[in-house]
Amino acid sequence: MKNIDAYTHVRGESIYLDDIPLIQGTLFGASFGSPMAHGTIVNLDLSEAAAMPGVVRIFTYKDITGENQIGGIVPDEPLLSDQEVHFCGMPVAFVVAESIDAARAAVKKIKATIEPLRVITDPREAQALGELIIPPRTFQLGNTNEAWSQCKHIFEGRADTNGQEHLYIETQGAYAVPQEYQAIKIYSSTQGPTAVQRAVSRVTGLPMHQVEVEVNRLGGGFGGKEDQANTWAALCALAAHLLKRPVKYSLHRMEDMAMTGKRHPYSADFRIGLNEELKIVAYEVTFYQNAGAAADLSPAVMERTLFHCTNSYFIPNVKATAYSCRTHLPPNTAFRGFGGPQGMFMIESAIAKAAETLGIEASVIQERNLLQTGDEFPYGQKAQSEAPECWHKATELYHLTDLRKETTVFNAANKWYKKGLACMPVCFGISFTKTLMNQARSLVHVYTDGSVGITTGAVEMGQGVNTKILQVAAKVFSIQPDKIKIHTTNTFKIANTSPSAASATADLNGKATLLACTAIANRLKKMVAEELSVAEDAITLQDEFVWVNGQKTDRDWKSLVMAGHIKRIGLSEHAHYATPEIHFDATKEKGHPFAYHVYGTAILGVTVDCIRGTYTVDTVKVVHDFGSSMNTAVDLGQIEGGIVQGIGWMTMEEVVYDKEGRLRSNALSTYKVPDIYSVPKEIAIDFLQTPHDNLAIFRSKAVGEPPLMYGIGAYFALRNAVRAFNNKGYFPFDAPMTPEKVLMALYATQQEGIIQPHEETSKHLAVDK
């Protein structure tokens, strides 16, 4: 089935925040962000700005009617700076004017005198100063201290990953409209309507039942609107609440890039030990997460880094510690993968370090250590593993041995071009790591003409969740998709929603919809069974008709529904779903946090131009564990998009802050994302259909985040290509692998590396028994 939005998308008719027809009297907002990353505001001069034509009012923290606080996990984030500023772009004042241009012009006239304080941008520096968001956490399995003595090879090193700009096509924004009795309706481009409702309620002081948040769809979220849509919605709501006029704020791309947080950069130290057979016996890793200036979702992201620190491998002795470090960057936030990719990059770096030093292919180590069913993750859950199946199917189907030979032959024959290959197995846990968030509700109405309307907590952001939810209802009622409509997501219809995130949206909201539709269908079936004096289970709904004992009757869906209404049978249902079986004890760091895991293996091939440092990603060949896909078109789209986004993070996308904490990569001319010319020439995806029962909707496993991590393979494929040209040079594990870094590595020397972004700490500590 096609994505139900395909038609309006290609015709440009889909409605996003900025397409909502304006109500007369609407005002427009723009925010004044701190020009400095850290300091004390000694004077804020709004006089010139306030006198600008069209300016209605300028709001500061003093105007807040509720609490000046939007921190979700930790209350450490003022909506508007009171005295101190903590990052460049931190909102200080909110200008509301008769037009967008007037608001933006006024922002430029605001003058802030700020006494500078020390700016920290490096997480290790923050950690050394004790600047932590939450206390550190450690996940442990076995005993690494005792395990080192069983190792033949021990390697240490450091690895770094950088941030990533979400670059949703639709920027952040909100539109607040005052209602009668002080209520406010807010249209928001958010993944978390309830998060927006809570933030608005807190900032305005209104109870949640006065705050209606409505979302039609998003032009992309990728995690950037899980928490960070709250700011703009709260600013608009506050202004609308006080002015009694509608207020809209749709961010300019440069405002969005400068003021919002991104994927967390991480730095890590690792130590890995292998035995004679290349089994990984022990792994220790310390993560330094660059959280930015406030907690935002950083503690949860850090937790997922720990969950995924051994990726797709079984390691009997693990000790992983993570620090969430407070720096003076915009608060970093959720981004597809949510800390998992960073954890996986570090273990892959450790394996690459071992392979490079031992002079073998990393895939030899990877394959020997794949998770088997029954193996224990460091957090206590036992794996139902598809890792070996994915790996072996991928290496056979795509002829890894031949690919390797071709690469060797090519590299021997070509001096100035080198090819590189890498395998990237992935294992990703499905469920919010916070158990309480794994719940959802669905409201289903069947109307007397047989049409069906559905509202859930799911937010459509291009991922196809509405299409999947529609499929659930179509299947239960056995009616055509055009009889079903998925309505907007709205906090007055569905309450207390979890954000659309964690790859779990179709599972959670789809299961709630399944329960609601089944309840209505069962009432109708019971009615027919009583009429005909047959058993209830003799009645089925099939292809728009009622069937009795496997025989089609002449009663169609529409007349069934009408009959139900006449008999006064409820044609509406509100259902609640909570994922069973999951639990986690944070005092022991053990439990069963995930409903299931998604597995897969990718083989990536690249070619490097050894004169210029430029490269192409030639091929990405994947075997992906779908369980049993309920929509192959949607799922393929998610995988292709995830791969390209993952490759972008690992290769060309480079977030740059200077030492003063100012974003230098602040526009599309200085921040390069993959375009149609830089995506892999070939993406092959094979469906591993697995027979095991699982907790996914119709056994169709979650697909939003896991494929992003295939992109990590691009880093290691490039590394291998570079090493085919120069395997003696200084070459830190430092992503992204931009063409500049490739060029430097191609010509780096051992002693005097051309680039030294950080001290080389790696060394080979062969333990001779």
Does residue 334 touch ligand LUZ according to CB under 6 A?
yes
Residues 397-416 that bind ligand LUZ (CB under 6 A): none
Which CA distances in Å does 512 have to 401, 462, 505, 597, 692? 46, 21, 11, 21, 22
Which residues, listed in sequence order, are joined to residue 764 by a DSSP beta bridge?
A: 155
User: In 3-state terms, the chain is what percent helix, strand and coil (to 5)?
Assistant: 30, 25, 40
Q: Choose which of 281, 465, 501, 663 interacts with ligand LUZ (CB under 6 A).
A: 501
Residues 348-367 that bind ligand LUZ (CB under 6 A): none
Q: How far apart are CA 247 and CA 426, in angstroms?
A: 45
Q: State the nearest-atom distance from the C-beta of 501 to ligand MOS, in Å.
A: 3
Cα–Cα nearest to 621, from 547, 682, 571: 682
Q: Choose which of 193, 223, 378, 648 interacts with ligand MOS (CB under 6 A).
A: 223
Closest to ligand MOS by CB, 190 or 471? 190
Radius of gyration of the chain (CA): 27
Distance of CA 258 to the CA centre of its chain: 20
Residues 636-665 that bind ligand LUZ (CB under 6 A): none
Q: State the nearest-atom distance from the C-beta of 506 to ligand MOS, in Å.
A: 12
**Of ligand LUZ, ligand MOS, none, which one sits near residue 238, judging by CB under 5 to 8 A according to partner kind?**
none
- Two structure tokens written together for 330: 């915009």
Q: State the nearest-atom distance from the C-beta of 432 to ligand MOS, in Å.
A: 9
N-to-C CA span, the chain: 61
Q: Choose which of 70, 93, 282, 334 interacts with ligand MOS (CB under 6 A).
A: 334
Does residue 477 touch ligand MOS according to CB under 6 A?
no
Residue 384 is classified by DSSP as: -
**Of ligand LUZ, ligand MOS, none, which one sits near residue 432, judging by CB under 5 to 8 A according to partner kind?**
ligand LUZ
Q: How far apart are CA 117 and CA 39, in angstroms?
A: 5
Cβ neighbours, 10 Å, residue 45 = 12
Does residue 198 touch ligand LUZ according to CB under 6 A?
no
Q: Cβ-closest residue to ligand MOS?
A: 223
Q: Choose which of 77, 160, 165, 226 interacts with ligand MOS (CB under 6 A).
A: 226
Amino acid at 414: N
The one segment of 195-203, 361-369, 411-419, 428-436 that binds ligand LUZ by CB under 6 A: 428-436
Does residue 338 touch ligand MOS according to CB under 6 A?
yes
Does residue 300 touch ligand LUZ according to CB under 6 A?
yes
Q: State the nearest-atom distance from the C-beta of 149 to ligand MOS, in Å.
A: 40
Residues taking part in catalysis: 705
Instruction: Kindly tell me the burial class for residue 162, based on how many C-beta atoms sit within 10 Å of its own C-beta (0-12, 13-18, 19 or more).
Output: buried
Does residue 338 touch ligand LUZ according to CB under 6 A?
yes
Does residue 594 touch ligand MOS according to CB under 6 A?
no
Does residue 191 touch ligand LUZ according to CB under 6 A?
no
**Whether the Cβ atoms of residue 153 and residue 354 lie closer than 8 Å to each other:** yes
Q: What is the dihedral of CA 392, 395, 397, 401, to 10 degrees?
A: -140
Q: State the nearest-atom distance from the C-beta of 293 to ligand MOS, in Å.
A: 20
Q: State the nearest-atom distance from the C-beta of 425 to ligand LUZ, in Å.
A: 19
Which CA distances in Å does 136 have to 130, 157, 298, 319, 343? 11, 21, 12, 13, 15
**Of ligand LUZ, ligand MOS, none, which one sits near residue 731, judging by CB under 5 to 8 A according to partner kind?**
none
Closest to ligand MOS by CB, 335 or 626? 335
Site string for ligand MOS, 494-533 (x = CB under 6 A): -------xx-------------------------------
Q: How far apart are CA 364 and CA 111, in angstroms?
A: 60
CB proximity list for 526: less than 8 A, separation 6 or greater: 536
Q: How far apart are CA 193 and CA 494, in angstroms?
A: 10
Q: Token pair 């409702």 is at which residue?
A: 197
Q: Token pair 């995806």 is at which residue?
A: 685
How many chain residues bind ligand LUZ (CB under 6 A)? 12
Q: Choose which of 28, 323, 335, 731 interacts with ligand MOS (CB under 6 A).
A: 335
- Two structure tokens written together for 192: 């978390």
Q: Choose which of 68, 81, 171, 191 interacts with ligand MOS (CB under 6 A).
A: 191
Q: State the nearest-atom distance from the C-beta of 335 to ligand MOS, in Å.
A: 5
Cis bond upstream, residue 481 (ω within 30): no
Does residue 502 touch ligand LUZ according to CB under 6 A?
yes
Which residues, listed in sequence order, are joined to residue 45 by a DSSP beta bridge?
A: 111
Q: State the nearest-atom distance from the C-beta of 719 to ligand LUZ, in Å.
A: 27
The one segment of 34-42, 390-398, 426-434, 473-481 that binds ligand LUZ by CB under 6 A: 426-434
Does residue 432 touch ligand LUZ according to CB under 6 A?
yes
CB proximity list for 702: less than 8 A, separation 6 or greater: 430, 503, 504, 506, 507, 598, 696
Cβ neighbours, 10 Å, residue 35 = 17
Q: State the nearest-atom distance from the C-beta of 154 to ligand LUZ, in Å.
A: 33
Site string for ligand MOS, 693-712 (x = CB under 6 A): ------------x-------
Cα–Cα nearest to 423, from 609, 597, 623, 284: 623
Cβ neighbours, 10 Å, residue 761 = 10
Q: How far apart are CA 237 and CA 604, in angstroms?
A: 48
Site string for ligand LUZ, 212-251 (x = CB under 6 A): -----------x--x-------------------------
**Of ligand MOS, ligand LUZ, none, which one sits near residue 46, judging by CB under 5 to 8 A according to partner kind?**
none
Does residue 459 touch ligand LUZ according to CB under 6 A?
no
Q: State the nearest-atom distance from the C-beta of 470 to ligand LUZ, in Å.
A: 24
In the three-class reduction of DSSP (H, G, I as helix; E, B as strand; rest coil), residue 697 is classed as helix
List of residues contacting ligand MOS (CB under 6 A): 191, 223, 226, 334-336, 338, 501-502, 705
List of residues contacting ligand LUZ (CB under 6 A): 223, 226, 297, 300, 304, 334, 338, 432-434, 501-502
